[in-house]
């Protein structure tokens, strides 16, 4: 397994582009992205659990019923959610692209992100598609990553190479996500591509399994979005024998997928709206995985813990408090807590009680941009990791006038 450049264009046969078409007022911001496979690809997806879902999700779910896709089109600046003509607009996006590229509209994944409940005009998209298609290139994955950003401050892309049956394969992805992010899929859009040959059934199995320990363990602000979607396209152009069942080759594919999704999770959490720090809660010593996940999520979601991390305050009692109300069956008299960063590690709690520690050393550790909160439950062999960010003044500022 090796980290490589290229994002969604790292895999053979994938091209991408991102442009400004006019959905967003700021002409410096790209607002329309395209990912294209030179051949039809097996596809899989997972979607938000929110009962209110964006129209593009309904269209994409229908398009992917046959497990095949060849292109992904996504706009930013408008979520196309809670609009009377939302389905019509989403269908028009796929239809216009399909006509321009001479592919089936049923093979187009459609996505949107931005403000909810605001009509989306198809005109700028229609006028932008020719330029979007004309600029398709194996070098433009980064432009596609920019085109799906909303309040994100950094583009998010990553890729790996790996071997299946002696054949080198590639898998890469781009993501957007900064606010309205909470476990069970967040306001994130993630598009992953691979040239590994794998059946659509096994691709769906891999994705559905992976998200339980990756994207479903990310929380920025406790709000589960309406437009979340993760899709994977596998065009098989690496030339390996198809992975159509579980086994060693499927395990290798799962590892490659997980390497990319964990990296994207960390990027999303670290770029939370107004965030200054990436928080990672690593729980060990749980009786079962469910307990470990519940505890990790509760700590990462605690507004008081997040605020303490912003202030570099080693207020470990807030971590214990979050564990206590999590609903997980835990013996608090066995709980230990440490804070870790590149400046070192400091133990602040042992067996459910505080220990003497240097406040100066703790502050030095917590002033770093990446903080690990280690929680030991002292009861079993299971663990889990969740990702989040600190809670800052800027989060309220960003969301106080997000629409206006």
Q: pLDDT (tens digit, 0 to 9) for every residue of the chain, 404 residues total?
A: 999 999 999 999 999 999 999 999 999 999 999 999 999 999 999 987 777 778 999 999 999 999 999 999 999 999 998 889 999 999 999 999 999 999 999 999 999 998 888 899 999 999 999 999 999 999 999 999 999 998 788 899 999 999 999 999 999 999 997 654 444 444 579 999 999 999 999 999 999 999 999 988 987 655 455 568 899 999 999 999 999 999 999 999 999 999 999 999 999 888 876 789 999 999 999 999 999 999 999 999 999 999 999 999 999 999 999 999 999 999 999 999 999 999 999 999 999 999 999 999 999 999 999 999 999 999 999 999 999 989 888 877 776 775 66
| CATH number of residue 222's parent domain | 3.60.70.12
3-state SS of 56-107? HHHHHHHHHHHCEEEEEEEEEEECCCCCCCHHHHHHHHHHHHHHHHCCCHHH
Contact 307, 321 (CB under 8 A): no
300 shares a domain with 173: no
pLDDT value, residue 180: 47
Question: Which domain does 205 fall in, by range?
Answer: 2-270
Among 37, 35, 49, residue whose Cα is nearest residue 110: 35
State CA 104 to chain mean position distance.
Answer: 28
Distance, in Å, from the CA atom of 142 to the CA atom of 53, rounded to the nearest integer, reads 27
366 shares a domain with 388: yes
386 shares a domain with 260: no
By DSSP bridging, strand 2-4 and strand 156-164 are: antiparallel
Among 52, 1, 38, residue whose Cα is nearest residue 257: 1
41 shares a domain with 6: yes
Among 96, 86, 275, 100, residue whose Cα is nearest residue 177: 275
Distance, in Å, from the CA atom of 55 to the CA atom of 137, rounded to the nearest integer, reads 28
263 shares a domain with 390: no
150 shares a domain with 38: yes
pLDDT value, residue 236: 98
325 shares a domain with 177: no
- Which residues, at least 6 apart from 17, have a Cβ–Cβ distance to it below 8 Å? 33, 34, 132, 133, 135, 136, 137, 140, 143, 144, 147
Of 237, 270, 303, the residue at which a domain comes to its end is 270
363 shares a domain with 317: yes
244 shares a domain with 116: yes
Catalytic residues: 187
Q: 102-126: b or e for each residue (b if 16 or more CB lie within 10 Å)?
A: ebebbbbbbbbbbebeeebeeebbe
263 shares a domain with 311: no
- Write phi, then psi, for 373 (nearest 5 degrees): -100, 110
- What is the total count of domains within the chain? 2
Contact 382, 287 (CB under 8 A): yes
């Amino acid at each position: 397994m090796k980290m490589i450049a290229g994002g969604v264009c790292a895999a053979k046969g994938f091209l991408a582009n991102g442009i400004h078409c006019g959905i967003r007022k700021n002409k410096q911001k790209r607002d329309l992205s395209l990912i294209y496979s030179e051949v039809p690809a097996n596809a899989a997806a997972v979607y938000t659990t929110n009962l209110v879902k964006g129209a593009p999700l309904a269209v994409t779910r229908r398009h992917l019923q046959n497990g095949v896709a060849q292109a992904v089109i996504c706009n930013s600046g408008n979520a196309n959610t809670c609009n009377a003509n939302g389905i019509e607009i989403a269908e028009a996006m796929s239809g216009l692209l399909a006509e321009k590229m001479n592919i089936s509209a049923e093979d187009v994944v459609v996505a949107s992100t931005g403000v909810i409940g605001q009509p989306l005009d198809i005109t700028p998209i229609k006028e932008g598609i020719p330029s979007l298609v004309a600029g398709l290139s194996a070098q433009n994955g980064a432009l596609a990553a920019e085109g799906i950003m909303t309040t994100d401050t950094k583009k998010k892309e990553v890729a790996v190479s790996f071997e299946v049956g002696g054949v080198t394969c590639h898998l890469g992805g781009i993501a957007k996500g900064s606010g309205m992010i909470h476990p069970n899929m967040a306001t994130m859009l993630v598009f992953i591509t691979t040239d590994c040959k794998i059946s659509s059934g096994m691709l769906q199995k891999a994705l559905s399994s992976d998200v339980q320990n990756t994207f479903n363990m990310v929380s920025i602000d406790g709000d589960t979005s309406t437009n979340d979607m993760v899709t994977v396209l596998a065009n098989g152009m690496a030339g390996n024998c198809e992975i159509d069942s579980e086994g060693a080759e499927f395990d290798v594919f799962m590892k490659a997928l997980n390497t990319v999704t964990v990296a994207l999770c960390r990027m999303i959490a670290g770029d939370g709206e107004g965030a200054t720090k990436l928080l990672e809660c690593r729980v060990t010593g749980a009786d079962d995985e469910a307990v470990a996940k519940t505890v990790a999520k509760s700590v990462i979601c605690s507004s008081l813990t997040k605020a303490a991390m912003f202030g570099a305050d080693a207020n470990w009692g807030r971590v214990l408090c979050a564990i206590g109300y999590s609903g997980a069956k835990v013996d608090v008299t066995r709980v230990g807590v440490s804070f870790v960063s590149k400046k070192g590690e400091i133990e602040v709690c042992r067996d459910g009680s505080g220990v003497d520690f240097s406040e100066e050393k703790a502050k030095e550790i917590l002033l770093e941009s990446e903080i690990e909160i280690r929680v030991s439950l002292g009861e079993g062999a299971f663990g889990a990791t969740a990702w989040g960010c600190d809670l800052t003044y800027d989060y309220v500022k960003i969301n106080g006038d997000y629409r206006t």
